[in-house]
Amino acid sequence: MTTKELLQAEIDHLGDEAVDELYRVARALSSERPQASGPGLLKRLQEIKIQAPEDFAANLDLYLSGEKIAP
């Protein structure tokens, strides 16, 4: 059974008052979803610029451990 089918089966067993409350909760959840505005996360990450040596990406582990020091 899908989740929607399981929910429907549970709803079928609820009284009218409980169904009304469940509807209010469902409406609140759907209105809480963030609306997409502006560039997405991946686009914003692509725009990040760092100042680092040319070999920084290739030797990241060495820079992080301190074995190699940036000039």
CA distance 53 to 69: 10
When pLDDT is cut at 50, 70 and 90, the band that residue 29 belongs to is confident
How high is the pLDDT of residue 1?
A: 84
Three-class DSSP category at 28:
helix
For the ranges 2-11, 12-21, 33-42, the lowest mean pLDDT is seen at 33-42
- pTM for this model (two decimals): 0.41
* Ranges of H-type helices in the chain: 3-12, 16-32, 41-46, 60-65
Residues 22 and 11 sit within 8 Å (Cβ to Cβ): yes
What are the Cα distances from residue 16, in Å, to 6, 26, 60? 18, 15, 61
| Per-residue pLDDT at 36 exceeds 70 | no
| pLDDT at residue 35 is higher than 70 | no
